[in-house]
Amino acid sequence: MGKTRALLVLGLVYGCGGGSGNGVDAPAPIDAVGAAADAAPDSAPAAVRVTVENFGLAPVAGATVYFQDADSTLVAEAETDAQGHASAMLGAGGFVTVLLPIDPDRPDDRRADTIAGAQPGDDLHVFYVPANPIFDVPPTTFPLSIPADPQHQYQLWSSCGAPNDVLAQAPASSAVTLRCQPPGRVDMLLVSSDLTRSLYAPNITIADGVPLTLTGSYVAVEDEAFQYTGFDRSRAIGIWQGVFGPTGEVMVIGGGGTLTTGGTATRSYRRPPTVDTVTITQSTWDYQPRVPTDPRSVTAFEWGPTPSSYALAAADVKERELTAQPTYDATTHAVQWTEGTEGLEPGAVFASIAHSRPTGATTTRFIWTLAAAHDARMAATFPVLPNGGLDFTPDPGASVDAGLTTIAMPISWDRFRPDALGATLGLNGYAGTAVGVSREAPGRAVWASYTSY
């Protein structure tokens, strides 16, 4: 499941914590982050383009897009074309809002995504994830032969999915169907059913109906140890690790909560050896007992060459502490919060508001997410949408659930913004966001998700 932009998956729930879609947990292929410069952009109006894509990375046509100046003045209203594009001339600091398609499995929900602080020349991306996504990519079916090993049975993992069927061994072959985006190339990993032997074959060319024979020798599967220290207030740590070859994510190891004892957690997972791959390790935890200003969850993402073992100290990934939980101010149209000075300084935030309105015999839930630079004023301001706010703007006195996700990352907001609400397929098959993943520069990002309830 490859893609050309460099993206990192986020392990957050987006309903009221940030981001578009319904849940997330990493990217492909992992190259240097795009061409957005960190230098201050020219403030003269220039075309800003947004591309809306669905779970299969196919364009979403017909989505309504609003381009607004920083004071919410409507500059243009457009619909995305057949390529999922919409564009308009826009000055510095404006808003770009996309009304996402209605999810057929959640017909009473309405969702909107806004990118704040848009700059002339931005090429923005917004990703739409329905409740039950379908990866609508044409299949490639071909006969696959693998090296013979009478002592083991093998299954296929790949950057285009994992069929999970036991494969026939040479000289016999198995009919394999993969869905690659873009099509034509795949990283393959054969793993024995008892997780003791494997064979990694990167960057393989495939074509519909064309037989493929893998060659090489099976090697022993290794154990990778994970150790976490200093997590005194966390009961358990969720551990996932995605391994990425040239065309995308080849495999994921890990699973649910690993219990902590005295602030320490240790775990080992079986991981087939690979060559010249990049690994993204996702670690997620919460705090117990939880107080209102604690995050509901914290996720650390760390990427670099595939390691033989992994260790993380809580002191190195301490999120910026809040001193007041996020709330929505109907007068200023902003999610507001207060924070201390301890912990990693965020570079960006996701703010979200959700409220309900009666609509005839039913109740409609409006969920609005905004991506913005972290502001020393500790506020993320939503634009005033045209036509009375299209019901996304809560009425004064309405009950509003406010969410906030702070993002500490190794790149600037200017480089983060184009893909802040864009995504790719990755860790656990969910959506993700660009935070500066590259093969050349190992790094780490920390996400902390807070709510008003």
Concatenating the DSSP letter of every residue in 422-449 gives -----GGG-BEE-S---SSS-EEEEEEE
Compute CA distances 179 → 44, 63, 135, 252, whole Å: 43, 26, 8, 18
- What pLDDT is stored for residue 304 in this prediction? 86
- What pLDDT is stored for residue 360 in this prediction? 79
Residue 50, φ and ψ in degrees, nearest 5: -125, 140
- The CATH code of domain 223-317 reads 2.60.40
Count the neighbouring beta carbons within 10 Å of the beta carbon of residue 160: 30
Contacts of 261 (CB under 8 A, 6+ apart): none
- What pLDDT is stored for residue 259 in this prediction? 83
For residue 200, count CB atoms less than 10 angstroms from its CB and return exposed for 0-12, middle for 13-18, buried for 19 or more: buried
- The CATH code of domain 140-220 reads 2.60.40
CA–CA dist 356, 110 (Å, integer):
10
The tokens describing 146, both together, are 């693998």
The structure's pTM equals 0.85
**Tens-level pLDDT at each residue, the chain (453 residues):** 333 233 333 322 223 333 333 233 333 333 333 333 333 444 566 899 999 988 666 889 999 999 999 999 999 999 999 999 999 999 999 999 999 998 888 889 999 999 999 999 999 999 887 777 666 778 999 999 999 999 999 999 998 888 778 999 999 999 999 988 778 999 999 999 999 999 999 999 999 999 999 999 999 999 999 999 999 999 899 999 988 888 888 988 988 778 888 899 999 999 999 988 888 899 999 988 888 889 989 999 898 888 899 999 999 999 998 999 999 999 999 999 999 999 999 999 999 999 999 877 889 999 999 999 999 999 999 999 998 667 899 988 899 999 999 999 888 899 889 988 886 433 333 333 445 565 667 889 899 999 886
Enumerate the CATH 2.60.40 domain ranges in the chain, comma separated: 140-220, 223-317
CA–CA dist 104, 312 (Å, integer):
41
Closest CA to 249 of 202, 293, 196: 202
- Reply yes or no: is the peptide bond before residue 295 cis, omega within 30 of 0: no
- What pLDDT is stored for residue 205 in this prediction? 97
- What pLDDT is stored for residue 130 in this prediction? 76
Pairing of strands 219-220, 197-205: antiparallel
- 3-class DSSP assignment, residue 389: helix
- What pLDDT is stored for residue 164 in this prediction? 75
